[in-house]
């Protein structure tokens, strides 16, 4: 077992809001039993696919993070095991092992077998936590074919093993250890009968682990992958990640770079993160990928706490010369994608403060209109993290903070702290205002262009682009639009579609790279204007998801380098200016086949990868099917090479096609990746491509 350092609660730590209550069996509150979890796992973890699989990891890690937020832990180790297992070790107090006064069972067994049993209810064990994680531990247990818990507490190591949530033996009191050695180790293997895959994605977990370290200053969190990996290229060509190492206690080597172990197999190097400056380091990290000059060198940061109301806020922010806003919010370390009252308070205070500063310092004259919030936030990177006793999450994905008291608290803290900073830094303040004034001028210039693209009505044809081949249905929920590059592919798509509910919008070549352009220039681009008017939602501040003309927007591009580039340009436009389309699940990537296998004595087949091609050929040959000598296998270089019937059969027919839905799990990570791929920093882009090249399924150069 790894040896972990011990910590004591830091009283008065504004980030922890730690409680002095005893954390023992009396603090565990039981609300209901563990029924139906295995029957309907999606109700508890969202899905049984890759997203649900990783949700299990977050539940266990977040429990350890709660110990850190309460001031009782400062070290967490996460390990990806072979055969789908996960191990999480912390040096917190350990889940209580004493007997519960009402249930007459060890408290740790209740936490792991009762759906709503935990120290997060009623404030007995925690004043701040990332959610109802008593639910999480038991659900992970219920969905695991094996689940081992080890608690270091009260001078002994306590162990228990479960299968699908059922204890295999009573809690055992094992070897003696020093009284002051405490902590919990959870090791589990998700059930292969329940989950579609038990193959954890290293990068998904690494990004979440790093984010956790940013949000909890002083917390050391490491990630180790014990699975052997296939070395597909010279490892010397894989550079260390230029994004890693900001304020890290142990500088992590690139996770992409394998290392040899004693058996000769290659494995990823472990990574360790620790950020003593917390959100200040986070903003520095986010801005590093933008390759945009900072408007002011110093990252602005502050922390404020109201102990009486159990509220704390930490803010870090910096303006750059980029044109995109990058504001990320968290509540009790939960990523609040949809914003909420903490973001409302931040925005309200920021807009008023900058306008007041601009007028006081004569940058805005009396007759000038106020700067809008969008003007002021152009180029701003900010992270807002609040901690509170009873968070209320709402919105479509339960990632919007609803606590009304938080808005006023954050607004007041921002007014005081940012107000002081502006008073102390008048030169930097004027530079911030100057950038906002330039953004306002661009906004005015863009207004006419935006008016030209704004739809007259939800389904009026008067505002539609001329090249759109619209569908007959007026019901957006069943309507689809295929974005196709090139006239030949567009012609095949028009002939092959179902005209009742499938529309085709051809575009010419590569659209504008919006990562490097302001809104006024974006709206003067003819291809972008056609997309905006076709979608019907408007753009930027005029965006209205309820006016979407299609609930499926399908990006259909060739499988070569140019096609990938076009797809990335389109995704950048959607992410920067129409993000709700992605958040609501309206955006898809078509998956056209790569090969046609033309058998002489059997029906033709289509393959979507080299592996599938080889498997189909092997299977067909074993059946006695024959391939013509010269032209048995056709490699599609582009969509235009398919006739309309092939395009329908393979890519557009709902009964046969494969569509990949574009999702947004981590806006901060997506922001960083788009900045790297579409920004100015060539070296960062080269490093990203090298590290992720092995994940590309096909590449035709």
> Among 157-171, 183-197, 519-533, which stretch is predicted with the lowest mean pLDDT?
519-533
Same domain for 458 and 325: no
Structure tokens at 55: 């949700």
Give the whole-angstrom CA distance, residue 366 versus residue 355: 11
> Among residues 98, 148, 562, 612, which one is catalytic?
562
SS3 of residue 27 by DSSP: helix
Same domain for 445 and 510: no
Give the whole-angstrom CA distance, residue 168 versus residue 148: 10
pLDDT over threshold 50, residue 218: yes
Q: Are 109 and 167 in contact (CB under 8 A)?
A: yes
Q: Which segments within 474-516 are labelled E, that is strand?
A: 480-485, 502-507
> Among 113-127, 237-251, 499-513, which stretch is predicted with the lowest mean pLDDT?
237-251
Nearest CA among 468, 589, 442 for reference residue 527:
468
> How many CB atoms sit inside 10 A of residue 682's CB?
9
- Which pLDDT does position 10 carry in this prediction? 40
Q: Which segments within 81-171 are labelled E, that is strand?
A: 86-90, 117-118, 144-153, 156-163, 166-167
Count of structural domains within the chain: 3
Residue 148 annotated in active site? no
pLDDT over threshold 60, residue 63: yes
SS3 of residue 539 by DSSP: coil
- Which pLDDT does position 676 carry in this prediction? 59
Q: Which of 405, 425, 450 is the last residue of a domain?
A: 450
In b/e form, how buried is each residue of 671-681, taking b as 16+ CB within 10 angstroms?
bbbbbbbbbeb
pLDDT over threshold 80, residue 97: yes
Same domain for 474 and 439: no
**Residue of higher predicted confidence among 152 and 398:** 152
How much is the average pLDDT of 216-224? Answer: 95
The CA-CA-CA angle for residues 346, 348, 354, to 5°, reads 95
> Could you give the dihedral angle defined by the CA atoms of residues 285, 288, 290 and 293, in that order, rounded to the nearest 10 degrees?
130
Residue 239 annotated in active site? no
> Among residues 24, 305, 520, 558, which one is catalytic?
558
User: What average pLDDT does the chain have?
Assistant: 81
pLDDT over threshold 70, residue 555: yes
Task: Write the pLDDT tens digit of every residue in 648-686.
Answer: 988 899 988 888 888 876 555 566 665 656 555 555 555
What's the CATH number where 48 sits?
3.30.565.10
Write out the residue range of the structural domain in which residue 91 sits: 26-200
pLDDT bin (cut points 50, 70, 90) of residue 39 is confident
Q: Is 425 part of a structural domain of the chain?
A: yes
Task: Write the pLDDT tens digit of every residue in 243-264.
Answer: 344 444 443 334 445 565 555 5
**Residue of higher predicted confidence among 60 and 267:** 60
Task: Write the pLDDT tens digit of every residue in 283-303.
Answer: 999 998 777 789 999 999 999
**Residue of higher predicted confidence among 519 and 587:** 587
> Among residues 109, 485, 520, 672, which one is catalytic?
485
Say which residues have a Cβ less than 8 Å from residue 629's Cβ, sequence separation at least 6: none
> Among 360-374, 417-431, 436-450, which stretch is predicted with the lowest mean pLDDT?
436-450
Q: Is 81 part of a structural domain of the chain?
A: yes
659 forms bridges with which residues in the sheet? 590
Chain centroid to CA 48: 18
Q: Are 562 and 489 in contact (CB under 8 A)?
A: no
Same domain for 183 and 42: yes
- Which pLDDT does position 699 carry in this prediction? 35
Reported as half-sphere exposure (CB side, CA atoms, 13 A), residue 205 has a value of 32
> Could you give the dihedral angle defined by the CA atoms of residues 112, 114, 120 and 123, in that order, rounded to the nearest 10 degrees?
-130
- Which pLDDT does position 562 carry in this prediction? 75
Structure tokens at 428: 């930097």
Same domain for 504 and 470: yes
Task: Write the pLDDT tens digit of every residue in 591-619.
Answer: 888 888 888 888 888 888 888 888 899 99
> Among residues 6, 148, 240, 560, which one is catalytic?
560
Residue 562 annotated in active site? yes
Say which residues have a Cβ less than 8 Å from residue 411's Cβ, sequence separation at least 6: 345, 346, 348, 349
Say which residues have a Cβ less than 8 Å from residue 622's Cβ, sequence separation at least 6: none
Same domain for 403 and 298: yes
Structure tokens at 648: 């329908």
Same domain for 529 and 480: yes
pLDDT bin (cut points 50, 70, 90) of residue 116 is low
φ/ψ of 699, rounded to 5, equals -150, 125
* Helix, strand, coil shares, percent, the chain, to 5: 35, 20, 45
Nearest CA among 327, 347, 336 for reference residue 287:
327
Q: Is 334 part of a structural domain of the chain?
A: yes
Residue 174 annotated in active site? no
Same domain for 337 and 433: yes
- Which pLDDT does position 264 carry in this prediction? 58
What kind and span of H or E run contains 383?
strand 380-388
Same domain for 503 and 386: no
pLDDT over threshold 90, residue 415: yes
Task: Write the pLDDT tens digit of every residue in 532-548.
Answer: 889 998 887 778 999 99
Same domain for 339 and 401: yes
Q: Is 375 part of a structural domain of the chain?
A: yes
What's the CATH number where 535 sits?
3.40.50.670
Q: Percent of the chain, pLDDT > 70?
A: 77
pLDDT bin (cut points 50, 70, 90) of residue 690 is very low
Give the whole-angstrom CA distance, residue 237 versus residue 251: 19
Give the whole-angstrom CA distance, residue 510 versus residue 223: 39
């Amino acid at each position: 077992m790894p040896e972990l350092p011990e910590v004591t609660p830091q009283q008065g730590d504004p980030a922890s809001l730690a409680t002095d209550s005893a954390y023992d069996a009396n603090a565990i509150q039981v609300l209901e039993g563990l029924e139906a979890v295995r029957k309907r796992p999606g109700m508890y973890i969202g899905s049984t696919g890759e997203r649900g699989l990783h949700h299990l990891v977050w539940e266990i890690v977040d429990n350890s993070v709660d110990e850190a937020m309460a001031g009782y832990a400062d070290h967490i180790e996460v390990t990806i095991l072979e055969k789908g297992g996960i191990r999480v070790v912390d040096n917190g107090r350990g889940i209580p092992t004493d007997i519960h006064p009402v249930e007459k069972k060890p408290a740790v067994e209740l936490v792991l077998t009762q759906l709503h049993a935990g120290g997060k209810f009623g404030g007995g064990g925690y004043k701040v936590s990332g959610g109802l994680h008593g639910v999480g531990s038991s659900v992970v247990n219920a969905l695991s074919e094996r689940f081992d818990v080890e608690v270091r507490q009260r001078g002994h190591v306590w162990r228990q093993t479960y299968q699908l949530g059922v204890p295999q033996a009573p809690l055992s009191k094992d070897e003696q250890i020093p009284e002051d050695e405490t902590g919990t180790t959870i090791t589990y293997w998700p059930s292969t009968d329940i989950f579609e895959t038990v193959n954890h994605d290293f990068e998904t977990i690494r990004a979440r682990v790093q984010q956790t370290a940013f949000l909890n200053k002083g917390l050391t969190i490491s990630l180790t992958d014990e699975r052997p990996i296939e070395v597909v290229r010279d490892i010397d060509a894989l550079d260390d990640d230029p994004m890693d190492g900001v304020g890290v206690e142990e500088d992590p080597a690139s996770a992409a770079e394998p290392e040899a172990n004693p058996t000769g197999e290659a494995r990823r190097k472990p990574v360790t993160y620790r950020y003593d400056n917390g959100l200040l380091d986070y903003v520095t990290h986010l801005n590093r990928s933008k390759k945009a000059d900072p408007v002011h060198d110093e990252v602005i940061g502050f922390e404020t706490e109201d102990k009486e109301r159990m509220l704390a806020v930490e803010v870090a922010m910096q303006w750059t010369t980029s044109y995109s806003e990058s504001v990320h919010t968290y509540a009790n370390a939960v990523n609040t994608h949809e914003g909420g009252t903490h973001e409302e308070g931040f925005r309200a205070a920021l807009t008023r403060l900058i306008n007041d500063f601009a007028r006081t310092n004569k940058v805005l004259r009396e007759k000038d209109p106020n700067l809008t919030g969008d003007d002021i936030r152009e180029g701003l990177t900010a992270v807002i993290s609040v901690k509170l006793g009873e968070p209320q999450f709402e919105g479509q994905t339960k990632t919007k903070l609803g606590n009304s008291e938080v808005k006023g608290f954050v607004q007041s803290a921002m007014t005081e702290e940012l107000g002081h900073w502006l008073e102390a830094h008048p030169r930097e303040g004027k530079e911030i205002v100057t950038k906002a004034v330039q953004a306002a001028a661009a906004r005015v210039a863009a207004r006419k262009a935006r008016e030209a693209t704004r739809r007259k009505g939800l389904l009026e044809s008067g505002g539609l682009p001329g090249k759109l081949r619209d569908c007959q249905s007026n019901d957006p929920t069943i309507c689809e639009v295929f974005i196709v590059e090139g006239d030949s592919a567009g012609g095949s798509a028009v002939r092959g579609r179902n005209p009742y509910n499938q529309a085709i919008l051809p575009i010419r070549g590569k659209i504008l790279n919006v990562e490097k352009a302001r809104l006024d220039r974006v709206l003067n681009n003819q291809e972008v204007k056609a997309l905006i008017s076709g979608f019907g939602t408007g753009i930027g501040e005029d965006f209205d998801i309820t006016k979407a003309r299609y609930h499926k927007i399908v990006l259909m591009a060739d499988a070569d380098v140019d096609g990938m580039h076009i797809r990335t340009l389109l995704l950048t436009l959607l992410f920067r200016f129409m993000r709700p389309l992605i958040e609501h699940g309206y955006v898809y990537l078509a998956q056209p086949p790569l090969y046609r296998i033309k058998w002489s004595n059997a029906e033709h087949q289509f393959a979507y990868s080299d592996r599938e091609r080889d498997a189909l050929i092997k299977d067909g040959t074993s059946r006695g099917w024959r391939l013509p000598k010269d032209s048995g296998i056709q490699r599609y270089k582009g969509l235009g090479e398919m006739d309309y019937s092939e395009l329908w059969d393979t890519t557009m027919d709902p009964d046969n096609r494969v569509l990949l839905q574009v999702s947004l799990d981590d806006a901060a990570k997506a922001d960083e990746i788009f900045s790297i791929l579409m920004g100015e920093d060539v070296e960062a882009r080269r490093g990203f491509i090298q590290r992720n090249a092995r994940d590309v399924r096909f590449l035709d150069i």
